[in-house]
Amino acid sequence: MKGFYTALVASAITGTFAAPSPIEQGPITARAAAAACATPVTLSGNPFASRSIYANKEYSKEVVSAASAISDSSLASKALKVAEVGTFLWIDTISRISVVEDNLKDVGCDQIAALVIYDLPGRDCAAKASNGELAVGDIDTYKTKYIDPIVAIFKKYPNTAIALIIEPDSLPNLVTNIDLQTCKDSAQGYKDGVEYALKSLNLPNIAMYIDAGHGGWLGWNDNLKPGAKGLADVYKAAGSPKQVRGVATNVAGWNSYDLSPGEFSTATDAQWNKAQNEKLYVSLFSPELKSAGMPSQAIIDTGRNAVTGLRKEWGDWCNVNGAGFGVRPTGTTGNTLVDAFVWAKPGGESDGTSDSSATRYDSFCGKEDAFKPAPEAGTWNQAYFEMLVKNAKPAL
């Protein structure tokens, strides 16, 4: 196996490996040839229209290591291709900032770096699996030890295009889960933190997308207007930053882009949710955002949504069993409201542990439709990764 794997990587480096599409070019095939822009980048319009997403080194290293552990040569070959797919890099702790610069310095002029800002105080107020390092109320640390150092690094790379997803699960939780004491406690910090992030990261070479949940979350008829208002209020409190392009949907999610009828269209409560897929959700949410005074373009996470009909309920979010890698990242979506399909969640990294005795165990990770066993959130799950590769649509 080792000999096969060494040959596989070698062929990829020399170019005899199956050539990826431009959007997938990354560390194995394209990094050496990438040339940085000669002048500062100013992003306007769809930032993905003429740029491929840079395949960050951190995820690529995980995937290459995972491929080397697969004994089936055909599956290993497919798995290795994932290392070439541009996937978002999550900056989910202060210590993680240390990898940011190394993942900016090699981004070519025809590429865009893609990162997730994710470290709010009291993070993930409605779940336990991905609780963060900062306590409720620790907004000063978030600003000075997290956002400010990231901004300082970004300012060193004005010639590099950067796309950011801003704080998944934060503002949507304030719409649907505000009755929870944990979310009540976190609410002001979420608003202040996102406002500060939007203000501080408003640089010409950056395009920002604020997390907006998904169709099974803010897509309910009664959630559309308050959801849009919640996001728009923070956007306007930040001074309506020019580089906010719109929203990110289905981040780390499972919803189909355009399955019709939708996955839960026959549920008894379907009459109260017209957003039965992400295409419908964006079509419903975009005008509400515009009406509330906020840009309304979207990027949609298709990283793990290849297989539908796996979940028992909309809200089942943890390590869904039977999933597969979905449509590859592209700025060609056929939808004027959607800037790009992206891989926001690094496939293979766990959503949360299935160990019921763990401090961060969340009952959703023990549900019937959740893959088991599963390690702590963000930790690599080899078996789950191999499943994603096997079930990928289109096939890898």
Instruction: Give pLDDT tens digits for 219-264.
Output: 999 999 999 999 999 999 999 999 999 999 999 999 999 999 999 9
When pLDDT is averaged across residues 134-160 and rounded to a whole number, the result is: 98
Comparing 124 with 87, which gets the higher pLDDT? 87
Give me the pLDDT at residue 7, please: 40
272: how many CB neighbours lie within 10 A of its CB?
A: 12
Asked if residue 29 has pLDDT above 60, the reply is no
Q: Does any domain span residue 252? A: yes
Give me the pLDDT at residue 127, please: 83
Q: Does any domain span residue 307? A: yes
- CATH number of the domain that 295 lies in? 3.20.20.40
31: how many CB neighbours lie within 10 A of its CB?
A: 17
Helices (H) and strands (E) in the chain, counts: 10, 8
Asked if residue 14 has pLDDT above 80, the reply is no
Task: Indicate the DSSP class of residue 131.
Answer: -
Helical spans, DSSP H, in 47-126 = 57-68, 73-82
Q: Does any domain span residue 18? A: no
Q: Is 217 annotated as a binding residue?
A: yes
Q: Does any domain span residue 33? A: no
When pLDDT is averaged across residues 278-296 and rounded to a whole number, the result is: 98
Q: Which residues contact residue 202 at a Cβ distance below 8 angstroms, ignoring those fewer than 6 apart?
A: 208, 238, 241, 242, 243, 244
Encoded tokens for 22: 């431009």
Encoded tokens for 226: 């308050």
Q: Is 214 annotated as a binding residue?
A: yes
Task: Indicate the DSSP class of residue 189.
Answer: H
Give me the pLDDT at residue 129, please: 74
Residue of 384, 35, 324, 317 whose CA lies nearest to 176: 317
Q: Does any domain span residue 197? A: yes
The total of structural domains in the chain comes to 1
Encoded tokens for 23: 């959007």
With a pLDDT cut of 90, the percent of the chain lying above it is 89
* First vs last C-alpha separation in the chain: 20
Helical spans, DSSP H, in 25-147 = 57-68, 73-82, 139-141
Q: Does any domain span residue 95? A: yes
Encoded tokens for 69: 């552990």
Domain containing residue 128:
52-391
Give me the pLDDT at residue 18, please: 33
Q: Does any domain span residue 87? A: yes
Residues that are catalytic = 124, 169, 351
Q: What is the pTM of this model?
A: 0.92
Q: What does the mean pLDDT of the chain come to? A: 92
Q: Is 272 annotated as a binding residue?
A: no
Q: Does any domain span residue 257? A: yes
Alpha-carbon gap, residue 303 to 129, rounded angstroms: 20
Q: Residue 128 — pLDDT band, cuts 50, 70, 90?
A: confident
42-68 pLDDT per residue, tens: 999 999 999 999 999 999 999 999 999
